[in-house]
Structure 1
């Protein structure tokens, strides 16, 4: 059971980079991408907490000094405090960093140096993440909170040139990191899938592949049930989700770099039984590959098929009317200019 709970905590963390990129290219509203991205970002705290607790339970031979919550089963109060420290400590640190960044950017604007403003923001982002991890709180939640605070307060203080330069730099970093993540994910997945334990090479077992396929199906079944359970709450909060939007949300639950990173931690833990680590690595890498290849490559087809946001039948009429008015105004302006010119 402990190993199953560990695998579940790893696979609960989503990484929908490919789906969000496809939705942006398809011109989908920001509402849908925000729901998918928000789930991926804000469930980091709970996924990491449960992963740490279940990893301590699986690594029963590890000394208590290396565990977050010693004891089998771990103490409930310790688990609660650990969760609070990660889930609340990260946002609190991110808010504090946002206040510091606001004052720092205000000082840098007087220097009239867009490069300095960009450098300060990058230092706040990466430095905030490392400080959060050093303080044993969620670095991802700290950076997310910092980004929300910066969007609301900091960017209005930056100069126009600084905002433009920051947009260019962050876009390039995001583009490069996405490709590096998928490249590394492919290498790690291949090594996990074809690794052999002392007892058995899992990729040679038909039962292992059948279990992987069933796990892939059940992930989508339970994701559908959870979304259906919370759909009324989303409606009351003002989002108003339809079944077509729900279909895209279910299909957009990819697993990626976050799950692979936790799988690496399991594989390199010397106190975890080798058969358990091999089984976890096989299923994590298999689910990552299946979701990236199947879900990631077919989400655009599903979006066109469902059409959660059908095009406005009058949009082309409005466009043609606007272009006709613009053409008439331009022709009138050119004609008046010609009348005032001595040549004509």
Structure 2
């Protein structure tokens, strides 16, 4: 099957799923597509197990898609840029310390807490999982996924400060999680034995280098935007900035996600107010909103279809449920410690820990990272558990975050 045929099938399925969700389910678009793809995949797998249909042709189509490559070298740049365009820098600056601490220290705490809990639970259930692989699970599942978060949190009416905290953390902590994951992966596979100095240098290079590159390219495109008033060219420049910042960062061994987020923040704030006409703002905003909706739907459809790539889903189902508990407990601890520590000089509203814990959704980033693990029984176990955690996170946490928010922070009475 050619690349064009593969993309055509995925786009057609996304369009059909979006239509059915709009007419029948009325769920948030991403969640609706994920739910339908998941149900269809489960039905197909069940029919295949019963010998009613030949599932091999379909089963060969989905695993043939390199999920990690699709996410990291395709969809992620566009989705992060589209999300960053709508983040107000002034709001982000007001919660900067909580975002910085949660996306760095919080991710590190979460990695080790979840890893230790999952290692203990796996051994208790009779699975001989090594501690390093348990830490790998903790590292890949700790980052809150910006794609899942941005697609849901904006629609539930969260207070601006809480929305900015969750969104800001999710935009930046994937870079930290990736550094931790790749470092532990090198140790687990024997590729290297990095020390604290080399890991710190790698982290600084990835993070600060990505910030600097994104700011520089954003400033350059901003200067170009100020010199013209042609919405077609300006939209094209924004596309070039999105793709160019991510690709160049990848080539220079910097953090592509952080570079594209910073570039998007620059254009979405300074560029939006100082370099664009009203017509350009309207067209550019609608263009990136459409890109965000289409690619979100496509990505969540892929997540739902990936059930076919899991060989031992039934065998590992119990440990997957235990993994959900480990992740929620680890997330709660990784939020509680920084919030309590920062509470001496930062005022957090009542219920912040519960909302940040339940609103820390997992998604495509975790699944993309798990596919980087070397083949073997430990990979199958972690892949299945990751998938179960992600599905629970998006379907259960995503759909119930709004009611939880309204219960903890009741809406102000109408005047």
Give me the TM-score of the superposition, normalised by structure 1: 0.77
2:201 — aligned with what?
81
Deviations 1:207-266 (A, max 9, x none): x3332222211211222222221224554565x323323322111111111011111222
Corresponding position: 1:9 with 2:139: yes
Gap regions ≥5 residues in structure 2: 1-130
> Deviations 1:95-120 (Å, cap 9, x if unpaired)?
1102211221123x1xx311111111
Q: CA separation of 1:231/1:76 partners in 2, compared to 1, >3 Å: closer, same or farther?
A: closer
Change (3 A) 1:157 1:16: closer
Supply the distance in 1 between the matched residues of 2:323 and 2:286 (Cα, whole angstroms): 40
Q: What is the distance in 2 between the residues matched to 1:16 and 1:43?
A: 9
Give yes or no for contact 1:19–1:299 (8 Å, CA) kept in 2: no
| 1:221 is the counterpart of 2:321 | no
* Structure 2 residue corresponding to 1:264, chosen from 361, 367, 371: 371
1:290 counterpart = 2:365: no
Q: How does 1:197-216 map to 2 (within 5 A)?
A: 202-205=312-315, 208-216=316-324
Aligned match for 1:300, one of 386, 389, 402:
402
1:26-105 maps to which residues of 2 (within 5 A)?
26-60=156-190, 70-71=191-192, 73-105=193-225
Equivalent residues of 1:118, 1:166 under 8 A apart: yes
Partner of 1:170: 288
Preserved contact between residue 251 and residue 295 of structure 1 (Cα < 8 Å): yes
Counterpart-to-counterpart distance in 1, 2:243 and 2:341? 35
Number of positions where the alignment pairs a residue of Structure 1 with one of Structure 2: 284
Map 1:237-276; keep pairs closer than 5 Å.
Answer: 238=346, 240-266=347-373, 272-276=374-378
What is the CA-CA distance between 1:39 and the residue it aligns to? 1.2
TM-score under structure 2 length normalisation: 0.64
Q: Does the 8 A contact of 1:22 with 1:300 survive in 2? A: no
**Partner residue in 1 for 2:276:** 158
Aligned to 2:261: 144
Q: 1:4 to 1:124 in 2, by over 3 A?
A: same
Is 1:311 equivalent to 2:403 in the alignment?
no
In structure 1, C-alpha distance between the alignment counterparts of 2:335 and 2:181, rounded to whole Å:
22
Matched, 1:124 2:245: no
Give me the whole-angstrom Cα distance separating, in 2, the residues matched to 1:298 and 1:264: 29
Structure-2 separation of matches of 1:293 and 1:116 = 39
Partner of 2:19: none
Q: Is the 8 Å Cα contact of residues 320 and 386 (structure 2) preserved in structure 1?
A: no
How much has 1:85 moved relative to structure 2? 1.2
- Describe the SS at the equivalent of 1:57: helix
CA distance in 2, matches of 1:46, 1:18: 18
**Rg: which structure is higher?**
1
1:25 aligns to what SS in structure 2? Answer: coil
CA contact (8 A) 1:105 1:117 kept: yes
1:280 and 2:382 matched: yes
RMSD: 2.0
Deviation at 1:129, TM superposition (A): 0.8
Mark the CA change 1:233 to 1:158 in structure 2 (over 3 Å): closer, same or farther.
farther
Q: Which runs of 5+ in 1 are unaligned?
A: 61-69, 196-201, 267-271, 317-344
SS at match of 1:253: coil
Relative to structure 1, the CA distance from residue 82 to residue 18 in structure 2 (aligned partners, 3 Å threshold; closer, same or farther) is closer
Q: For 1:231, which of 339, 343, 359 is the aligned residue?
A: 339
Residue 22 of structure 1, CA deviation: 4.0
1:78 is displaced (CA, Å) by 2.1
